[in-house]
Amino acid sequence: MDEVPQIETLRKPASDGDANADILRLRHCLADAQRLVAALDQRLSIAATDARGAVSLDEIWSSRSYLHEPQNTKNIALCLQPTSFSEFGKHREFAEVSALFKQGDEFRGLDFVRIWSMILNIKHALAKCPGAVAELGVYRGQSSALLSYYAQAFMRKMYLADTFSGFAEEQFEEDMGPGKQAAFKDITVENAQRIVGNYEGNRWIVGMFPASVTEEMRADTYAFVSIDCDIYEPIIRGLEFFWPRMNPGGIILVHDYGSGHWPGATRAVDEFCAEKKVSGCLMADFAGSFVLAR
């Protein structure tokens, strides 16, 4: 904690006629006093927080403590909810949907940019165009649970494609170490189904993509697709498969494009966009997702 500022002592003026100097010194004293009050207020606020435990987000908002306390660090920041939700009462399902998204992993619930981006984009796409929903790279199923919620709400089919046993060895990248090669093996399709739910429109596609694609999946068209495969081969194959099947107004979200952890994801998207002469935009979520609109 920085030291509390000291107030400059108001000295007797050198001469009775030096009024301007008196006013200037008085202004300096008032400024010092304001800084002192702010510093003491911050100390009292922190002491009160330490005494009663962590404050709630509602307390931070109502007390406006964010005005004089840090709003962000290297890893976490306060963020505003969309006004459509906070002021106009839209997206009332948010609490239910965000609970689906963070099942078994509360840390995921901090990625509000990703949660809201998925909610707003899938609702926009499904309201504007026909077609199914799909996620390539389901893993434990939390984001699939969110997408399946809206697929059911809009009465669309939901395809859930994954090996459900980690990365296929045939798709390993040259620079993948043992840790990455062994990642995402702590799941089974049965565990993912428990997370996602039993919506009758769910279609479970098990195996290495695109060899796992069914005739029903191949014949369908799509309104919203999430690709979350981390490595080059399944991502480029996913883009090649889904892009020509996207209906106008449809959206593809590619996770991990800008995270830095998975360079194959970046390479796959960049190569695909260059070849097809299409472009997209980046999201400021935790893993730097990339958005393509048809």
Tens of pLDDT, residue by residue over 117-143, are: 999 999 999 999 999 999 999 999 999
Find all residues with CB under 8 Å of 240, minimum gap 6, and list them: 272
- DSSP codes, 26-75: HHHHHHHHHHHHHHHHHHHHHHHHHHH-PPPHHHHHHHTGGGTS--B-SS
Tens of pLDDT, residue by residue over 238-287, are: 999 999 999 999 999 999 999 999 999 999 999 999 999 999 999 999 99
Q: Which two tokens stand for residue 152?
A: 């059911």
Weakly modelled stretches of the chain, pLDDT under 50: 1-2, 4-5, 7-11
Q: Which two tokens stand for residue 45?
A: 């606020």
Q: What global pTM score does this model have?
A: 0.80
Q: Domain 83-293, CATH 3.40.50.150 — does that match? A: yes
Every domain of the chain and the residues it spans:
1-78, 83-293
